[in-house]
Chain A
C-alpha cells in the first residue's frame, strides 16, 4: 500500500517536472520569435516539409471521415425523417471538431515524429553543438522555426480536411439520400458561417503549437545515442496526441463560452 502510494507520488512528481521543463522550453523557443535574424527561409522550408507533404494523408483522412460521417448521419436522421439535415450535421461536425482533431493527430504522427527524430539524431551526431559554435542559437534556428511552421500549417491542413470532409458527406448525401448536390451546397452554406470555422482554426493553431513544441523538446533531450532517438520519437507522438486530446476538451469548453452560437 505504502509502496504503491510512493510510486504514485513519484509518477506525479515526474509529470510535474516534465510539464515544468516543457513549459520552460516552450517559453524559451517562443521568446526568441522576434530576435534577429528571423530565419524566414528555414521556417518556409519547414512549412513545406510539415505541410505540403502531409496534404495527401490529411486529404484522404478528411474525405473518408466525411463519407463515414455522412453514412452514419443519414442512417440516424432517417429514423426521424430528417435526412435533409445531413449537410448541417456533417459540416458542423467536421469544421468544429473532427477536422482539427483528426488533422492534429495525423500530423503529430507523421511530422511530429519526424521532427523529434531529426533533432535527436542531430544532437547525437553533434550537429547541434556545431550550430552553437558557429554562433547560431540551436533552439531558435531549429525549434522556433519548426514550432512556427506547425502553428501556421495546421489551420491550413485543417481547412483542407474540413473541405474534403464536407465533400465526402456530399457524395453520400447525393448518392444515398438522393439530395441534389446544389441543395446540399446551399444547406451547408446556410448552416455553417465563418464564425463556425474560426474556433476550429484557432484550435488547430494551438494543436500546431503543441505538436511542434513537444517534438522539438523531445528531440533536444535525447539521451543515450541512436536508441534514445527511437524512444524520444515514440514519446513525441504519444505525448502530443495526449495533449491534443486533453487540450481539446478545455478549448471546446472555452470556445463554446466565447462563441455561444457554436453550442
Chain B
C-alpha cells in the first residue's frame, strides 16, 4: 500500500484468460506521476487487453490494479467507476467515434454531459480541441467522411475533452503518416511535460516509443519481458528486444561485432 502512493498506476500480477487462451500471464507495471510509460509489443501480445483491464472494460481473472490511489480491482459500485472514468482518458485503438454524430458533436458530448457549460461555450472548446489535433474546420464532418487517421485524431480530441490527468493511449499513431504521427507524439509529450499528465502509450511504433517514453515495458506473449529506460532498451542485448528495435534482418551478432 505504501508503494502505491508514489505510483499513479500500479498493476500487480495480472492474469487473464479469454476464450480459453491465456492472454495475460502475470503482468506487473508501475507508472510514476507525470511519467509516460510506453508499452511495446507485437500485435497479439496482449497490450490492448492490458489497457482495457486498467480502465475497467475488461476484468482480469486475478491480480490487483491501483489507479490514482483507487483500487480498481476492488470496485463494486458504479459511482467508483464513474470517479475513475472522469479522471482517466482512454483512446481506443479503432477510435470508437459515435458515427451518428459529427466530429464537433463527438467532442462536445462529454463536455455537455459532465459540465454545466452552455452549448456555445462547449463548441468553442471543441474548436480548440480540434485545432490541437490538427483538424481545425473539420468539425461539421461525420466520422464516415474521414480517413482512419483523421478519425483517430478526432477521437484523441474527444479523449482529452474533459482534461484527464491520466491518459491511456492504444496505438495513438497507427494509421497516421509520419508527419502527423510526429505532431501527435509532440502533443502527447506536451501533455506530459507541461500538463503534468501521467500516461501509458501502447504501440508497436518504435520511433514513437523513443520520442516520448520515460520508461518502456516490453510485452511479449502476456508477460513483461523487459522494463527500463529508453537508453537501457537501446543497449539491450536481449534477442526479443533488439529484434523488435532493429528489425529481424539485422543479425543480432552482427550488431555486437
Near A by CB (< 8 A), chain B positions 135-179 give 158, 162
Contact among A37, A125, A133 for B57, CB-based, below 8 A: A133
Decide: A125 and B96 in contact? CB cutoff 8 A.
Answer: yes
Min distance, Cβ B119 to any Cβ of chain A, angstroms: 11
Number of A-B contacts (CB under 8 A): 47
Decide: A132 and B96 in contact? CB cutoff 8 A.
Answer: no
Decide: B90 and A133 in contact? CB cutoff 8 A.
Answer: yes
B99 within 8 A of A: yes
CB-CB under 8 A from A133, the residues of chain B are 55-57, 85, 88-90
Contact among B81, B89, B92, B162 for A129, CB-based, below 8 A: B92
B97 within 8 A of A: yes
The interface size bin for chain B is 20 to 34
CB-CB under 8 A from A257, the residues of chain B are none
Which residues of B are in contact with A by a Cβ distance under 8 Å? 55-57, 78, 81-82, 85-86, 88-90, 92, 94, 96-100, 109-110, 113-114, 158, 162
Q: How far is the CA of A136 from the CA of B110 in the complex (A)?
A: 8
Min distance, Cβ A230 to any Cβ of chain B, angstroms: 18
Which residues of A are in contact with B by a Cβ distance under 8 Å? 37, 118, 122, 125-127, 129-130, 132-137
Decide: B85 and A134 in contact? CB cutoff 8 A.
Answer: yes
CB-CB under 8 A from B57, the residues of chain A are 129, 132-133
Known: A132-B57, A134-B109, A135-B85. A127 touches B98 (CB 8 A): yes
Q: How far is the CA of A125 from the CA of B162 in the complex (A)?
A: 22
Min distance, Cβ A99 to any Cβ of chain B, angstroms: 32
Q: How far is the CA of A136 from the CA of B113 in the complex (A)?
A: 8
Q: How far is the CA of A129 from the CA of B89 in the complex (A)?
A: 13
CB-CB under 8 A from A137, the residues of chain B are 78
Min distance, Cβ A45 to any Cβ of chain B, angstroms: 10
Decide: B96 and A127 in contact? CB cutoff 8 A.
Answer: yes
Knowing that A125-B99, A134-B85 touch, tell me 14 more A-B residue pairs with CB under 8 angstroms. A118-B100, A125-B96, A126-B94, A127-B97, A127-B99, A129-B57, A130-B98, A132-B56, A133-B56, A133-B89, A134-B110, A134-B113, A135-B85, A135-B110
Decide: A135 and B82 in contact? CB cutoff 8 A.
Answer: yes
CB-CB under 8 A from B85, the residues of chain A are 132-135
Q: How far is the CA of A135 from the CA of B114 in the complex (A)?
A: 9
